[in-house]
Amino acid sequence: MAAVRARRRTAGPLFVAPFMVLFVLLFLGPLAYAAYLSLFQDRLVGGTAFVGLDNYVTAVQDPRLLRGIGRVATFFVIQVPVMLLLALLFALALDSGLLRLARVVRLGIFVPYAVPSVVASLMWGYLYGPDYGPFAQLSRKLGLPAPEFLSDGWMLGSLANIVTWEFVGYNMIILYAALRTIPPDLYEAAAVDGAGPWRIAWSIKLPALRPALLLTLVFSVIGSFQLFNEPNLLQRLAPDVIDSGYTANLYAYSVAFTSQQVNYAAAVSFLLGAVIVVVSYAVLLTANRGRSA
């Protein structure tokens, strides 16, 4: 008896061990190292010195970092609702069973997600081109002024368009999968009670989708605040619009690799991580309060 219990006690940790080892080595370790680095300052003249929280004090007052965070927050507020709404509409339409060629449509919407974001940005960068991009050529043929997708005023919208194009399909699949798990008897019962398709969508499907929607929302918070690939690639096309602090992540990168201030970059990254945690938590809290009310 005692031997069996002892074996049980050791079996648990053993099963968890492979995960824990990798988790500590590949996740907690680097995180702790970054935290450690963020407490130092390495200068070209004078070398490395312990500076405590100085890097964080500098970072919270760094106008370029704050502007970058502000910009991704704006991006989040505008882009995410549009993207999730589109994903929701597509998922509901596919689930309704009324669509012809549903499989083709589903695949078509999902394919952009399979395109690496680097390729997507390069492709859209070409489409946006002010001289030889197809939109510019078309509007010139029609005698209209060419749309300035890469100008200061449009850039955030142009980025939002790329990200939406990439991720609508991904979010749609999550929502669609959640819809497929709803037991069909609920629909039958609703139909018996006289509910039409819109009523079913509103009263059964949407409430059932709530956890999945929340999940996509939290993913989107993280994705938005970590916006990097798209602006990094469009920077080459519009260097005067996208500067090295255009998004918070871009700023951390440029501090680390352009200015070689690795320590400060670690502090910036931690601050950005903190912002993401706070925003994600706020989103969850708001959503849950909505439910209990």
Task: Name the residues that contact other proteins, by CB under 8 A.
Answer: 43-46, 126, 129-133, 236-240, 243-244, 254, 257-260
Nearer to other proteins, 157 or 239 (CB): 239
Q: Which CB sits closer to other proteins, 47 or 97?
A: 47
CB-nearer residue toward other proteins: 70 or 211:
70
Smallest separation (angstroms) from other proteins to the CB of 114: 24
Write the burial class of residue 269 (CB in 10 Å: 0-12 exposed, 13-18 middle, 19+ buried). Answer: buried
**Contact between 246 and 231 (Cβ < 8 Å):** yes
Least separation, in Å, of the C-beta of 235 and other proteins?
A: 8
**Minimum CB–partner distance for residue 133 and other proteins (Å):** 8
Q: Is the CB of 193 or the CB of 240 nearer to other proteins? A: 240
Q: Which is nearer to other proteins, 150 or 279 (CB)?
A: 150
Q: Which long-range contacts (CB under 8 A, 24 or more apart) does 143-150 make?
A: 150/234, 150/237, 150/238, 150/241
Q: At its nearest, how many Å lie between other proteins and the CB of residue 126? A: 6
CA 250 – CA 133 distance, rounded (Å)? 26
**Angstrom distance (rounded) from CA 8 to CA 187:** 45
User: Smallest distance, Å, CB 186 to other proteins?
Assistant: 53
Cα separations in angstroms, 135 against 122, 132, 148, 161, 283: 15, 8, 10, 14, 37
